Amino acid sequence: MGPLVPQGIISPEWDFIIALVIGIGFGFVLEGAGFSSSRNLVGLFYGYDFVVLRVFLTGGATAAVGILLMDYFGWIDIGQLYVQPTYWGAAIVGGLIMGLGFVTGGFCPGTSFAAASIGKMDALMFVVGTFLGAFLFGETYPLIQNFVNSGNEGGIKIYDSLGMSRGSFTFLLIIVSVGLFYFVPVIEKKVRKPEY
């Protein structure tokens, strides 16, 4: 039963090889879907291309349904999967700063690596920025650490936060995703995609 490395079914030395292979798959999907172009990514925010929404929600929903099914068949123990802790303030403020980074830089960290790998110099500049940003965060950490570490709610789950069952929330995720897939072409038809 999974997860295999945390349960000691596969030796931890293999974890780095697995990470590399997972990364290759991840990078292939990001580039293949067109996320190696900032023009395709920011289309989401100007209404001319919703490819990010399509890939992102399909991926998230597929993974959630897959993990739900694997748990149902006893192939994976959901309780042993890493769930990032919820710090409301840091998640919201950090997210807003990332949103600003998205519309100025045109990438997010994962897509910038994939785009830099095919020769996009704008993506490489973004990557350089991520190192500077990490350094800046480390240097300013004493000033903001109280805020960053406040209000830890632990690994809480969205269906509990909304007072729903896991299954019905996942169903809702699919319904909302499919609804958006039918709705976004209406906007795309009205907004011309800039050519360059």
Partner 1 sequence: MEQGVIRKTDPKKYLNPYLMGVLLGFVLIAAFYFSGRGPGASGAPKRVTAGVVAVVAPQHADHSAYFSKYVHSENGPWKSWLNFEVLGVIIGGFISGALAGRLKIKVEHSPKITSRKRLFWALIGGILFEYGASMARGCTSGAALSGIAVWATGGYVTMLAIFGGAYLFAYFFRKLWI
**CA angle in degrees (0–180, nearest 5) for 50-54-56:** 110
Interaction residues for partner 1, span 43-72 (CB under 8 A):
44-46, 48, 51, 54-67, 70
Could you say which of 8, 11, 72, 138 contacts partner 1 (CB under 8 A)? 138
Largest CA distance in the chain: 54
Contact between 141 and partner 1 per CB under 8 A: yes
User: Rounded to whole angstroms, how far apart are CA atoms 72 and 75?
Assistant: 8
Decide if 63 contacts 173 (C-beta within 8 A): no
Number of neighbouring beta carbons within 10 Å of residue 39: 15
Could you say which of 72, 118, 176, 180 contacts partner 1 (CB under 8 A)? 118
**CA angle in degrees (0–180, nearest 5) for 91-61-19:** 70
Interaction residues for partner 1, span 155-174 (CB under 8 A):
155-161, 166, 169-170, 173
Tokens of 126: 């973004």
Contact between 22 and partner 1 per CB under 8 A: yes
Contact between 185 and partner 1 per CB under 8 A: no
Contact between 8 and partner 1 per CB under 8 A: no
Could you tell me the smallest distance in angstroms from the CB atom of residue 112 to partner 1?
7
Contact between 78 and partner 1 per CB under 8 A: yes
Could you say which of 97, 172, 176, 187 contacts partner 1 (CB under 8 A)? 97
Contact between 3 and partner 1 per CB under 8 A: yes
Map residue 64 onto helix, strand or coil.
helix
- DSSP-assigned letters across all residues of 37-54: -HHHHHHHHHTS--HHHH
- Residue 2: beta bridge partners? 76
Q: State the amino acid at position 153 in one-letter form.
A: E
Could you say which of 74, 143, 145, 182 contacts partner 1 (CB under 8 A)? 145
Could you tell me the smallest distance in angstroms from the CB atom of residue 69 to partner 1?
10
- Size of the residue set binding partner 1 (CB under 8 A): 133
Could you say which of 81, 172, 176, 187 contacts partner 1 (CB under 8 A)? 81
